[in-house]
Chains A and B, each alone.
Chain A
C-alpha cells in the first residue's frame, strides 16, 4: 500500500513535522498486512491503518469516529464488550480474542486481535489494537471439525451395522451348539466353540473401534459407582479363562477397598490386558494376576512369560495404532487400539497403567487405581 492520502496521516498527528523515526514506525504500521487501530477511552476509533481497505472494504475515513464494537458480529458483541471493558479497567492491560467483523459488502470475516490499554501513556493515550484476518484458518478448522464429526458418525454407524450381523451369526452359532450338543463327533462342538470365540473377538474389535472414536471425540460416558475390584478381576479372569485352552490364569491377592469408577470400562481394561498376555506369550502356559494395595492405591498386576517388550517401546505401546516394529511381531495381528484405550480409561479413573518388561523375558502390566475411602461414621459429607 503506497497510496496513502495525506488526510489519513493527518488524523494521526495533524500538523506535526514527522521525525525520521516516526516515519519509520508509521511506514511499518501502514504497510502491515495486520490492521492497527487506536480507540479512545469511550471506545471510538481515532485511527485505523489503511490495510483495512483491502481487508474489510472500508476507507479509514469511514471508520474513524465510529465505535470500535459497531462492526462486530452481533453474536460476538457481548463477549467483546467484556473484553473491551477488561482492557479499559486496567492501565497496561492487554487481552486477545477471536471475533467476526462485518465487511463493507455485508459478509463477516474472522479476526484474531489484541488490545492494550495505553490511555495513560503520554503521546499515545489510546487503546492500541492489532488484528488480522484469520477467516481462512477458521474455515479450515471448521471444515476439519465437520470432517471429524462425519468420520465419527461414520464409524458409529459402521460399528452398529457390523454388530447387527455379528449378533445374528453369534446367536445362530450358539443355537447350533445347543442343537448339536449330543452329536457324537467331538469336532462339531470344537468347531462351533472356535466360531463362537472368534465372533466374541470380532465383537470386541468392533467395540474397540467404536470406543476409539468416542475417546477421541470425548464422547465416552463413564458411570461412577463403587467397584469391588477383587470381584471384578476374578469375574474377568474367569470369563477370559473360558475362552482359552492354552493358558492357565492364576489370580492371587486382594485389594482392601473398592474403587470409584465404571465397572464395565475397568472390566474392558482387564480383558484387554489378559488377552494381550495370552496373545503375546504363545510359548507359555501361565498368566499370573496379582491384586494388592500400596498406600491409597489398588494395584492389579498382570504378568505373562512371553515375548516381552523392549524398553525402547515401553512408552510407544500405549500410543494409538502403535505396533511394535519387529518383523517377528507382525505375526500378532491387531489394531493397536487396546492399550491406548486401556490407558485412556485408567487415566479417566485418575489411575496409571504402565509396563515392566524386557525383550524375550515376559511382560508385567500394572494398573494402579485410587481406592475409595468412605467418610468416617457420624460425619456429614
Chain B
C-alpha cells in the first residue's frame, strides 16, 4: 500500500507500471503544479513539470509525453497558442492536450485552439483523473 490509500489499486488499473505513461504539466501556478504532480505521481504516472512555454518545448525536444496538461493562460505564453503549435507540428500533433482553466468561456476557447479535453478550475480530483485515464488510454 502506498501513501495514498487505495493508490496501488488505482495505479494498477490504468497502466503498466514497468512502462509508466508520461504527462507533461504546464502551468505557472506552483501550488497547482504541486497538487497535480503529487496526484499524478501517486497514480503511477511519470510527470514532467514546466512553468512556461519554453520549458515545455524543451521537454518535448527530449521526448514525447503521452499527455499534455496545460493551463489556458500561462504568464509569458498563451496556452492556446502553445496548443495550436503542438497540434500543427507533425511530431506533436497526436499528443492529447487536456486544458485546464479558471477563465470564463475557457472551454470554448480551449476546444477552438485544438485541445482534446477540458477541466475547469477548481476541479474535482476524480473528474481530472477520469479524463487523464481516458486521454492516455487513447494513445
Contacts and interface: CB of A to CB of B under 8 A. Distances in A.
A171 B102 CA distance: 14
Contacts of A352: none
B122 interface: yes
Given A172-B35, A182-B5, 14 more contacts: A163-B102, A167-B29, A167-B122, A168-B31, A168-B32, A170-B123, A171-B122, A171-B123, A174-B125, A178-B42, A178-B125, A182-B1, A200-B122, A221-B108
Nearest to A213: B104
Given A166-B122, A167-B123, A179 B4 contact: yes
Contact of B103 (A160, A165, A166, A181): A160
Contacts of B108: 221, 223
B29 A168 contact: yes
A179 B125 CA distance: 13
A171 to B, nearest CB: 3
Nearest to B108: A221
Contacts of B123: 167, 170-171
A200 B108 CA distance: 23
A346 interface: no
A178 B4 contact: yes
A160 B102 CA distance: 6
A171 B125 contact: yes
The winner among A156, A175, A200, A221 for most chain B CB atoms within 10 A is: A175
B114 to A, nearest CB: 18
B104 A214 contact: yes
Given A174-B125, A175-B38, A167 B5 contact: no
A37 B83 CA distance: 61
A68 B31 CA distance: 66
B5 A171 contact: no
A166 B124 CA distance: 12
The winner among B104, B105, B125 for most chain A CB atoms within 10 A is: B104
Interface in B78-132: 102-105, 108, 121-125
Contacts of B102: 160, 163-164, 167
B6 interface: yes
14 contacts: A160-B104, A167-B29, A167-B102, A170-B122, A170-B123, A171-B32, A172-B31, A175-B35, A178-B125, A179-B4, A179-B5, A181-B4, A221-B105, A221-B108
A181 B108 CA distance: 36
The winner among B7, B36, B108, B124 for most chain A CB atoms within 10 A is: B124
When A and B form their complex, which 5 residue pairs have the shortest distance between CB atoms, in order from nearest?
A: A171-B35, A181-B5, A163-B102, A168-B31, A167-B122
Given A160-B102, A175-B125, A168 B35 contact: yes
Interface string B28-47: 01011001101100100000
B95 to A, nearest CB: 24
A170 B4 CA distance: 17
Contacts of B32: 164, 167-168, 171
B139 interface: no
A165 B122 CA distance: 9
Nearest to B38: A175
The winner among B3, B6, B42, B125 for most chain A CB atoms within 10 A is: B125
